[in-house]
Copies of this chain bind each other. A is one copy, B any other.
């Protein structure tokens, strides 16, 4: 992720007072006071995988010399070196000869042009089997052999300020999701509505959800199977984030990452996004957005409200008010444009002393920042992130919760050219949804519908189209504009075959 975390500049008003203590977890909106009933025993994080490509000359001083690329790329030591070469920026895809990704998913990636030592994007694509816990609903013991559930999983993780968080998330997030789904196997297999209560001890009877409502207030809200899966994904993101917090000291979980995750389960596609990656479906040429980006601009009011309700999180350096630019001391007493947590419009206010503090949210577009530091407002990790020249933590303003959108695959007849495209911001910074749709049409129509290599070719075309070619001292697109110097990663998931969805 290019420039995702920017150190606060020297123009920051220096803090005159003692830095406030880091707020306790329950004060943070990200903390969940209602702990899910059981924490999964997620596998211990091993040290980051070491690639022999670490011999490449480091461009910046960095203590971490090991790095990894997704296993499914099946890179040899030489391949790993080429993938890590920021001069050549060769596009990487799974080998033709190897085992194909599930659903014939296409994948391609390229390293950044030198903004970080290694590629800080990570990816994961797995078929995950979920073994159910027994008798969670308290039903009489089923004599038939226990049956589990399978889900298909794709994840893109765009790291910043180090590759540790993205690497850890790519190894573990799907396991957290699996753990969250274990309790639900029996329930999701049963077409009747989910039970209100589970017995606390497996096998015990559970009469509580049979009790008739006793007043209008006890009338029961209907909860769908789909919303249970959404809740499982949401809690898995939180547990992943908590695991990073626990293990950050022992295992050097560096930085943070955006997470864009797709799950296919029982006929439905769940797209969960925390950060500024993006997912779109192209169906019969039509663009269907499947995610929203979470940035200081799109989450301005959430951030300002938190700063307003918990001013101690702002220290003495920041104000929750937004101004069109930094207020200058000589403007004290004048009336300047501002907006607060309740406003979408702007108005004038008289400038007071505390308005001279740095605004919590500032800048526009790719330059928008929270606390003059970070340009994304949701994701995993970042537990150590502090405002430059300060001990003020930024994490309380960041949310680890994804927004989940659901797409029912059974409601439409999909053709082989219908695809779900996932990309990190390296793709979307220089490519519009419409341009992606055009490329989908152009590339797929050049291949037979049953040619299983067409989705990888499409992913490569998208990455190449965003990277450009070296020309005029930079990577440039055909229109001579600058290509993306960021890490770029793309999944192309066919929705209409030839993949098997059983």
Interface residues of A (CB under 8 A from B): 9, 11, 27, 29-30, 32-37, 180, 183, 194, 196-200, 206, 208, 211, 213-223, 226-235, 238, 305-306, 308-310, 321, 324-326, 328, 330-331, 333-350, 358, 362-364, 367, 372, 399, 401, 403-404
Contacts and interface: CB of A to CB of B under 8 A. Distances in A.
A37 B355 CA distance: 14
Nearest to A35: B349
A282 B235 CA distance: 42
Contact of A342 (B208, B227, B399): B399
Given A230-B345, A372-B217, A34 B321 contact: yes
A197 B336 contact: yes
A213 B362 CA distance: 14
A83 B404 CA distance: 50
Nearest to A341: B29
14 contacts: A11-B215, A29-B305, A29-B308, A198-B336, A208-B328, A217-B325, A220-B324, A220-B325, A221-B325, A230-B346, A231-B343, A234-B342, A306-B309, A343-B401
A217 B12 CA distance: 9
A1 to B, nearest CB: 19
Nearest to A193: B324
Number of copies: 2
Nearest to A326: B218
**Max chain B C-beta neighbours (<10 A), residue from A35, A232, A334, A336:** A334
Contacts of A233: 345
A196 B324 contact: yes
B342 A200 contact: no
A337 B217 contact: no
A234 B344 contact: yes
A331 B309 CA distance: 34
Contacts of A232: 345, 347
A339 B30 contact: no
B325 A213 contact: yes
A363 to B, nearest CB: 7
Contacts of A234: 342-345, 347
Contacts of A219: 325, 363-364, 367
**Max chain B C-beta neighbours (<10 A), residue from A216, A238, A321, A347:** A347
Contacts of A33: 308, 340
B339 A231 contact: yes
A218 B325 contact: yes
A234 to B, nearest CB: 5
Contact of A340 (B34, B216, B324, B325): B34
A235 B347 contact: yes
A228 B345 contact: yes
Contact of A37 (B326, B335, B358, B372): B335
A343 B30 CA distance: 11
B331 A208 contact: yes
B216 A367 contact: yes
B336 A401 contact: no
Nearest to A207: B330
Contact of A348 (B36, B229, B306, B348): B36
